[in-house]
Amino acid sequence: QLALAAAVALIGFWPRETIETNIVFNRESAYGQIKVLDFGQRRYLLVNGTTQSLALLPSLKSDSPYSQVMELAAAARPDARRALVIGLGAGLLTQSLEREYNLTVDTVEIDPVVEDAARRYFAFAPKGNVFIEDGRGFLERTDRRYDLIFLDAFGGESPPFHLFTAEAFEAMRRRLAPDGLLAINLVSAVHGDAGKAWRSALRTLKSVFPAVDAYLASAPVEDLANVVFLAGSGPLPRTLPTSTRADIRKNISEALTRPLDPAGQSAALLSDDFAPMESLMAQTSARWRLTLQ
Q: What is the residue-wise DSSP string for 229-269?
A: EEEESSPPP-S--TTS-HHHHHHHHHHHT-B---TT-----
Sequence-distant (6+) residues with CB within 8 A of 36 are 23, 24, 25, 26, 43, 44, 45, 46, 117, 121, 122
What is the distance between the alpha carbons of residues 238 and 216, in angstroms, rounded to a whole number? 14
Q: Residue 156 has what pLDDT?
A: 62
What is the distance between the alpha carbons of residues 285 and 283, in angstroms, rounded to a whole number? 5
Q: pLDDT per residue over 138-178, tens digit each?
A: 999 999 999 999 999 987 667 899 999 999 999 999 999 99
Q: pLDDT per residue over 128-140, tens digit each?
A: 999 999 999 999 9
**How confident is the prediction along the chain (293 residues), in pLDDT tens digits per residue?**
333 333 444 444 445 555 566 999 999 999 999 999 999 999 999 998 888 899 999 999 998 889 999 999 999 999 999 999 999 999 999 999 999 999 999 999 999 999 999 999 999 999 999 999 999 999 999 999 999 999 999 876 678 999 999 999 999 999 999 999 999 999 999 999 889 999 999 999 999 999 999 999 988 888 899 999 999 999 898 877 666 678 888 888 899 999 999 988 989 999 999 999 888 887 777 776 665 54
pTM: 0.90
